[in-house]
Amino acid sequence: MSHFSYQNGVLNAESVPLSQIAAQFGTPTYVYSKAALLENFHAYADACRGRDALVCYAMKANSNLAVLDLLVREGAGFDIVSGGELLRALAAGADPGKVIFSGVGKTVEEMKLALDKGILCFNVESIPELHRLNDVAGQMGKRAKVSLRVNPDVDAKTHPYISTGLKANKFGVAFSDALDTYRAAARLPHLEVAGIDCHIGSQLLDDAPLLEALDKLIDLIDTLAAEGIHLHHLDIGGGIGVNYGAAGDEPPVPVGEYIGRVFQRIDAWRAAKYDGKPIKVIFEPGRSIVANAGALLMSIEFLKPGEEKNFCVVDAAMNDMMRPTLYEAWMAVQPVTPREGKALCYDLVGPICESGDWLARGRELAVQPGDLLAMMTAGAYGMSMASNYNTRGRAAEVIVDGDKVHLVRRREKPEELYALETIIR
């Protein structure tokens, strides 16, 4: 169900009118629904109940401490891609033993930090990274648990910027090189080969590519076992995509159905080859947990008619929400208080000095200056990708819990944006 709905003619987050939030905290503001966030997480966690499985939230999607804290309380693990994300997860109370460290460019200092904190596993993406991690672990007198991120060369059929499982992508070890890479890892004295990982891309609405990748991982695990390299976990990567509401968009496969098919295949395989002995399964969902739990609330500054286009100028911009500019992503926009009267076709643009500063194109809206709009399904890759371009402070963030509103990140002030800079005298 949607936790953003019209009540008494006003768009609400749970039981709170967005107009009330705008009046209290200003705009632009990210508004998150606690109920939606937890409901989305439990779609994964409940489908894994009774299994040796771990749901590791991909915190790059939204790393607000309050969001992380809510997931920690529900037993989530975390998929991180930097030392900063590790420190952020730990600040929110995460168990380091439930943290997996992905990414192609881990530094020596990041490896030291992760080893010192005792994370669950490193998802290693190249032979040079194996050797660096082995050296760092040896210097610290530790053994690092590793999982190879294998690139299965499966087409996720998604946007090229978020496709990660093809030969042309920078991520992972090529499937044809995986066996030799595992052999190399097994020979290194300060590494413990623990698992296998893949992540073929984001925003998959169909689970067929994920299941195709799973079949390839299963075959590789069997080949490794025949050589005496026994893996303890299988990380299938990211979760299912979300529906952003564009015309003709297909609804994503339900999470429970997808996870059910994953375990069905794994159970049949383990029964046939390993006398039913289980293997730990890890999932790394991000977008599907937070996307539809959030909306970006904004105000209309001006309506600017033009010869070819009409522009609706709002106080949010590409620095607040990068997805349309970066991916040409379509995101639904709704008036907070719908008006009667004739709608006109507008391009929704922000005040940044770039032609690429647009949030939506060709939208039919009946609006006036001062009206509030909400960009929906904005909880993922919104605030986490925000910048201070044009010396614009990043938006405030609030979490709605029933009829209560909690400010979880205040709006940045201009003077804070240059506080770290100095002038040469």
Q: Is 286 annotated as a binding residue?
A: yes
pLDDT at 167 exceeding the cut of 70: no
Class of domain 4-31+291-417 as given by CATH: mainly beta
In the chain, ranges of CATH 2.40.37.10 domains: 4-31+291-417
| Distant-in-sequence, close-in-space partners of 75: CB < 8 Å, separation ≥ 6 | 45
pLDDT at 161 exceeding the cut of 50: no
Domain 103-283 has CATH 3.20.20.10: yes
The predicted-structure confidence for 98-147, as pLDDT tens digits, reads as follows 999 999 999 999 999 999 999 999 999 999 999 999 999 999 999 999 99
Q: Is 129 annotated as a binding residue?
A: no
Q: Is 381 annotated as a binding residue?
A: yes
Average pLDDT across the chain, whole number: 93
Q: Is 28 annotated as a binding residue?
A: no
- Position 162 scores a pLDDT of 42
β-pairing, 333-335 with 372-375? antiparallel
The predicted-structure confidence for 262-319, as pLDDT tens digits, reads as follows 999 999 999 999 999 999 999 999 999 999 999 999 999 999 998 899 999 999 999 9
Q: Which three-class secondary structure state does DSSP give residue 120?
A: coil
Q: Is 239 annotated as a binding residue?
A: yes
- Position 156 scores a pLDDT of 52
Q: State how far the Cα of 393 lies from the Cα of 404, in Å rounded to an integer.
A: 25
Note the Cα 127 to chain centre separation in Å: 27
By the 8 A CB rule, do 119 and 81 touch?
no
Q: Which of 48, 56, 121, 353 is catalytic?
A: 353
H-helix or E-strand spanning residue 174: strand 173-174
In the chain, ranges of CATH 3.20.20.10 domains: 103-283
The predicted-structure confidence for 359-412, as pLDDT tens digits, reads as follows 999 999 999 999 999 999 999 999 999 999 999 999 999 999 999 999 999 999
- Position 169 scores a pLDDT of 61
| DSSP per position, 342-410 | --EEEEEE-SSSSTT-EEEEEEEE---TT-EEEESS-SSSSGGG---GGGPPPPEEEEEETTEEEEEEP
Determine what percent of the chain is predicted with pLDDT higher than 70: 96
By the 8 A CB rule, do 23 and 336 touch?
no
For tokens 């309050």, what's the residue?
66
| Catalytic residue list contains 353 | yes
By the 8 A CB rule, do 303 and 257 touch?
no
β-pairing, 344-349 with 358-365? antiparallel
**Is the preceding peptide bond at 28 cis, omega within 30 degrees of 0?**
yes
- Position 1 scores a pLDDT of 61
